[in-house]
Structure 1
Amino acid sequence: MSNTPEIYPCFEPKTSTWQYIVADPQTREAVIIDSVLDFDPASNSLSTATADSLLSIIDEQKYSVTRILETHVHADHLTASRYLQQQLINRGQPRADVCIGKRIQLVQHTLAARYSISSPELESAFDYLFDDDERFSIGSIEAYVLHLPGHTPDHVGYVIGESVFTGDSIFNPDVGSARCDFPGGSAHALFCSMQKLLSLPPDYRLYTGHDYPPEARALSEHGQKWKAYTTVKEQNLTNKHVRNGVSEDQFVTWRTERDVALSEPRLLHQSLQVNIRGGRLPRRNTEGYRFLIIPLKVPESLD
């Protein structure tokens, strides 16, 4: 089998999210990883320009999409997985399964109660749940699943040839690591997941789920502002949070103190409610409206 895919990194700047199309150049089979559905919180409206740009690449390259992959339940953007699935069917392609790691069920159980989501809405929300270390193929290219908890308990990465799609388990070296204060998150677990990635061969490429360039990179005239990947070797030498010599205790202390000071993601509640449904929208009520629940923070004086 070949192990060199064609990779199209597609950056969505409003949520700083990297989406990927990964394809076998021989068979033209492809997967989509961590897609974005556009959401405007000012008008509470959805649109599909970002997802449509992925479809344009797929059309131009004549790819056949066999899977739509999620690394985890994202808390900062809505997935476009179901929209993409239907649009690909409309183009005459076979139905591509929407896939995620098997621990999604833990996250669904926790969040369903918080947002009053009924069990029927979560039944078969995803088409396929991967086991840890499960192997699959994209045409002639071998791939397998890595369980990478810490940011969230369901988090997985995808090793495709010598490229690894890490989601939010590790960021570029000058950004470091993701927060661990979501339900089921753990700084200890994230440190171990990052070490799992850093133990891969040094020339493997790590494609991250987000990029938040610090000022030095953003203003650089010669560097690339948005970086989709670095190598395992680069991460071991320069990652600001887990480079060689940083202990687990040091990382956990810093990450925990940092997370306490962070505000919640702008699209937290909207994202979680759609994403645990596997990209499906809430059901319409009797008058044809769809609703999301936004929790209120109420002072004691108003209780």
Structure 2
Amino acid sequence: MSDRVLAEASEQIAAVRRGARPAPVVRTFFDEKTFTATHVAHDPVTREAAVIDSVLNYDQASGRTHHDEAQRVVDYVRAEGLTVTWVLETHAHADHLSAAPWLQMQLGGKLGIGAEIVRVQDVFGKIFNAGTEFARDGSQFDHLFHDGDRFSLGDMEVTALHVPGHTPADMAFVIGDAAFIGDTLFMPDYGTARADFPGGDARQLFQSIRRLLSLPGETRLFLCHDYKAPGRDCYAWETTVAAERGGNIHVHDGIEEDAFVRMRCDRDATLSLPNLIVPSVQVNMRGGRMPEPESNGTRYLKVPIDTL
């Protein structure tokens, strides 16, 4: 991410803080089963909205899906009279399935993700032996964002920031004075995302985090997950740049890059894979769609043996 991009995002945030631009209204829906926060951000004037990191309910034992979490989003959007113009993914999640296509059918909007999704598709297309019929060009999405891309959500400015490290395709979306940063950071008392998935890189993650923490201190940060740190009894998903710089247990000001990389690599080596990584990645690399039905009309998800 270039200094120019950071400067533009910082000026965008400053414009909101001095009242020259509207600040987004944000409503969050938290799914305790996957510990995922879905955010709906809208312009208070035009009522245009974006849905960020949605959840499709999936029962691993039965292979059944339902839309209870996504329906909560739909009910809210309709009750508030919002118009969804974007359905955004911060990355191809490994811990929950996306409900983006279903939300598009209900609410409309374009589906967007970072352009480096093609790298994720290439790696996991091979792991799951998805075949030549699985396109690895990002065409399952309506728009692929590059670092520094700018667009509007109503009267609000939006800047897309490429923040790789957790995965190659991670993006943060700065909407007005709020940044939706996916899995790069957690609440200050919980730390940072893992970097041991295929294509992940702890050093790259540190650099992406420090870039995010170069935004103005008052920038609101909205996170994709929370797991309740020891001693905390409630889930939380909103913090600020200043709070992260001052108190993040893994990456507060003063933590050097090499020390972070050692910590992150050592910690990642002790972690189990997410419970839903096998179904999640197969679906999310397809833009939230299941694989095509087989000859009997049934869709199947594969489980690679002794691979992940």
Q: Do Structure 1 and Structure 2 share a fold, with TM-score over 0.5?
A: yes
Q: Pick one of 167, 174, 188 that aligns with 1:159.
A: 174
The within-5 A match list for 1:1-303 is 2-88=21-107, 95-122=108-135, 124-218=139-233, 225-297=234-306
2:219 and 2:41 map into 1 onto residues whose CA distance is 15
SS in 2 for 1:129: strand
TM value normalised by structure 2:
0.91
SS in 2 for 1:36: coil
Q: Deviations over 1:85-121 (max 9, x none)?
A: 1122xxxxxx411100110011101111111213433
SS in 2 for 1:167: coil
Q: How many residues align?
A: 286
SS in 1 for 2:266: helix
Conserved 8 A contact 1:164-1:204: yes
Give the aligned partner of residue 15 of structure 2.
none
Conserved 8 A contact 2:127-2:304: no
1:246 and 1:215 map into 2 onto residues whose CA distance is 22
- Deviation of the 1:2 alpha carbon: 2.3
- Deviation of the 1:44 alpha carbon: 1.2
Counterpart amino acid of residue 246 in structure 1: I
1:97 and 1:233 map into 2 onto residues whose CA distance is 32
Runs of 4 or more, structure 1, over 6 Å off, are none
Q: List gaps (5 residues or longer) in structure 1.
A: 89-94, 219-224, 299-303
Q: Deviations over 1:252-293 (max 9, x none)?
A: 001000101111110001000000000111111111110000
1:240 and 1:41 map into 2 onto residues whose CA distance is 33
1:151 and 1:112 map into 2 onto residues whose CA distance is 18
1:231 and 1:132 map into 2 onto residues whose CA distance is 22
Conserved 8 A contact 1:3-1:142: no
- Deviation of the 1:131 alpha carbon: 1.5
Counterpart amino acid of residue 104 in structure 1: I
1:188 and 1:71 map into 2 onto residues whose CA distance is 19
Conserved 8 A contact 1:3-1:160: no
2:147 and 2:161 map into 1 onto residues whose CA distance is 6
Identity percentage of aligned residues: 43
SS in 2 for 1:25: coil
Conserved 8 A contact 1:166-1:209: yes
- Deviation of the 1:33 alpha carbon: 0.2
2:264 and 2:187 map into 1 onto residues whose CA distance is 16
- Deviation of the 1:295 alpha carbon: 1.6
CA RMSD of aligned residues (A): 1.2
Give the aligned partner of residue 222 of structure 1.
none
Counterpart amino acid of residue 284 in structure 2: N
1:233 and 1:261 map into 2 onto residues whose CA distance is 30
SS in 2 for 1:215: coil
1:87 and 1:161 map into 2 onto residues whose CA distance is 26
Deviates more, 1:197-206 or 1:113-122: 113-122
- Deviation of the 1:3 alpha carbon: 3.2
Conserved 8 A contact 1:172-1:211: yes
SS in 1 for 2:231: helix
SS in 1 for 2:51: strand
Q: List gaps (5 residues or longer) in structure 2.
A: 1-19
2:130 and 2:294 map into 1 onto residues whose CA distance is 13
SS in 2 for 1:18: strand
Conserved 8 A contact 1:207-1:230: yes
2:133 and 2:216 map into 1 onto residues whose CA distance is 43
- Deviation of the 1:154 alpha carbon: 0.5
